[in-house]
Amino acid sequence: MLVKTNAIVLSVIKYGESSLIARLLTENYGLRSYMLKGVRSPGKKKIRPGYFQPFTQLEVVASHKDKGSLETLREVRLAHHYQSLQTDIVKSSLVMFLAEVVQYGVQETDDDPDLYDFIIRAADWLDENEDMASFHIVFMLHLTRFLGFYPDFSNEGAPVFDLVEGELVENTLNPSASGDLLDILSSLMEAGFENMSSVRMNRGQRVRMLNMLVEYYQIHLHGFRKPKSLDILQSVFH
């Protein structure tokens, strides 16, 4: 079946001497893997390998067999040209990390246009703005809305956030957040990208908050792995 859809690139790996396998989050068909045969070979190519950078926005025509195997891309063109997202070292490190988070967090069969729209809006915001120190933390926190485990703070006043239960409690033996991390988490839940700078965090608090969120994802998403690019991201923000 031939389909046309918007897509955002999450990852790409080399296959053989001249091919690539790309993981794309599509607007209409969820997370898909595509074989790109011969795109790394010399000569003029219909599909450019340079298109497949993390968070690149594409319009694609694809052949879907819907059998759980690799699909095929027939046509690819850029849907949006970024100004700085893939040339600024800090921004490119952020999107490499967040593309891993999305890839590990979204299920293969998920079809969620609202999730897709959230990622596109986030990428566009990052491309156009320079205040990005807390961007990845806010992104991960609000991504949990779409993945089904957004923190429940309805038990207002309870002093501990239980990572396993995903809610405020009086006390727990489970992994948890309290004190300054709980205060920051509460403030970030009220913030978007536009006003996240109003939530003050020093570097140590950002590291702790990010590690807590990674643990929170690991608890709630079966098979979620610690992103390989986490160490790179931490060194960039050192």
CA–CA dist 129, 196 (Å, integer)? 12
- The CATH superfamily of 2-78 is Nucleic acid-binding proteins (2.40.50.140)
What are the tens digits of pLDDT across the range 61-117?
998 887 767 998 999 999 999 999 999 999 999 999 999 999 999 876 667 899 999
Q: What is the pLDDT of residue 59?
A: 97
Q: What is the pLDDT of residue 99?
A: 96
Q: What is the pLDDT of residue 196?
A: 93
Report the pLDDT averaged over residues 123-137. Answer: 95
CA–CA dist 40, 33 (Å, integer)? 17
166 Ramachandran zone, left/alpha/beta (phi>0; psi -120 to 50): left
143 or 37: whose pLDDT is higher? 143
Q: How many other β-carbons are positioned within 10 Å of the β-carbon of residue 229?
A: 19
Cα 217-127-79 angle, rounded to 5 deg: 95
Domain ranges for the chain: 2-78, 89-236
CA–CA dist 128, 65 (Å, integer)? 37
- The CATH superfamily of 89-236 is Recombination protein O, C-terminal domain (1.20.1440.120)
Q: What is the pLDDT of residue 39?
A: 84
Q: What is the pLDDT of residue 109?
A: 64
What are the tens digits of pLDDT across the range 146-174?
999 999 999 989 999 999 999 999 999 99
Report the pLDDT averaged over residues 23-52. Answer: 86
Percent of the chain scoring above 90 in pLDDT: 72
Check whether 143 has a pLDDT greater than 90.
yes
CA–CA dist 106, 21 (Å, integer)? 18
Q: What is the pLDDT of residue 44?
A: 60
